[in-house]
Amino acid sequence: MKEIVLDTETTGISVKEGHRIVEIGCIELDNLIPTKNKFHCYLNPERKVSEQAFQVHGYNDEFLSKQKKFQDICQEFLDFIKGKRLIIHNAEFDLSHLNNELKLCGKDQINNEILDTLILARNKFPGSQASLDALCKKFSIDNSRRVTHTALIDCDLLSRVYINLIDQKEPTLNFKNQETEFKSENNSKISYFKKVVQPTADEIEEHKKYLKVNLKKNNFN
């Protein structure tokens, strides 16, 4: 199964305040193993970056003003994610911004299958911190490159967290014959479900091979 690990960076938190996307990063997984297929772009948000957002990702207005606009990469992005499950941490945030950008381009909202790793982590480890940094620490994943939040580095880290999340079986959590789903504010379906929590025997075997050979490597080198 092919999936897309996705992350965005923005000018601020809420689309209701007119905030826009400044970066999109995507990594393709094939049966849990990262492929060489990636999608990455910086975007001109056509507005100023908030100070809070600048402190998070470090992209200034001058740099972003020289980048393409979302409408310029819209179709390429949609083609890249078409028909694939999206793996996103705090999916409601990213989807609200992506769907806003699509709306501004006259496109339909994203209707891909969505797996929110934030929801998955909170249900697997109740009461524990579920930020990307906290999960990297829990699974001993080196996140030293994450000095600032950048979409492609965050996707790399999230792909490793995701693989660990579905490999760490919690005996008290029974996802058999379950599918948990809710509607976000932007009406997109976000779910975590048995097919992800309980991978096939072939996927588990491929995953074991991946852990032995590739997990410690930097996929971007």
Residues annotated as part of the active site: 149
Return left, alpha or beta for 181; rule: phi > 0 is left, psi -120 to 50 is alpha, else beta.
beta
CA angle, 199 then 81 then 37, to 5°? 80
**Could you give the count of Cα atoms lying within 13 Å of 86 in the half-sphere of its Cβ?**
27
Beta strands across the sheet bearing 21-30 = 33-42, 21-30, 2-10, 85-88, 114-116, 189-193, 179-183
Q: Distance (Å, rounded) from C-alpha 167 to C-alpha 206?
A: 12
Q: Which residues make Cβ contacts (< 8 Å) with residue 196, sequence separation at least 6? A: 115, 120, 166
CB 32, CB 12: distance < 8 Å: no
Question: To which residue do tokens 């772009």 refer?
Answer: 41
Burial class (CB in 10 A: 0-12, 13-18, 19+), 64: buried
CB 192, CB 120: distance < 8 Å: yes
Query: Alpha helix (H) ranges present in 66-181?
Result: 70-81, 91-104, 117-124, 132-138, 151-167
